[in-house]
Amino acid sequence: MRRARSSLRQLLEPLRRQGRRRVAAAPQENAALQALWDVIARIPRGSVCTYGGVARAAGLPGHARQAAYALRVAPAQLHLPWHRVLGAGGRIVFPAGSRSFREQARRLRAEGVAVRAGRVPHAQIADDALG
């Protein structure tokens, strides 16, 4: 997906230029953030993966927490499919019953992904299909 990548870059450019304002751009790791955002943006509809998987696919093995951070600071403007990213074992990481928790489950089911007790069946996790 070459197109998606370049348009993503264009989208990020104005964000970075706003400088002093905290918009959403993280201090230094813009390269890492872009890589993570890029991977997340490529997760196909109806498919899910884990934080660790996203980090690995972005060339940052062991940086699962950074994947989470990337999502937390991601500009809404990017419209990333954040709901397709789950914790280890296909678990929704938000506190059960929280707003985000329900929203994520709702979005997943809307894409035909089975969610039961805050989890997605292991078989549906497509970490390896990222790179």
Partner DNA sequence: TCGATGACCTCTA
Partner DNA sequence: ATAGAGGCCATCG
**Interaction site with DNA (CB under 7 A):** 26-29, 32, 50-52, 62-69, 71-72, 74, 82, 85, 87-88, 93-94, 100
Q: Closer to DNA at the Cβ: 8 or 48?
A: 48
CA distance 106 to 111: 9
Which regions of the chain does DSSP assign to beta strands (E)? 49-50, 85-86
CA distance 58 to 70: 12
Q: Closer to DNA at the Cβ: 11 or 75?
A: 75
CB of 30 to DNA, least distance (A): 8
CB of 53 to DNA, least distance (A): 7
* Listed residue (31, 52, 32, 54) closest to 43, CA to CA: 54
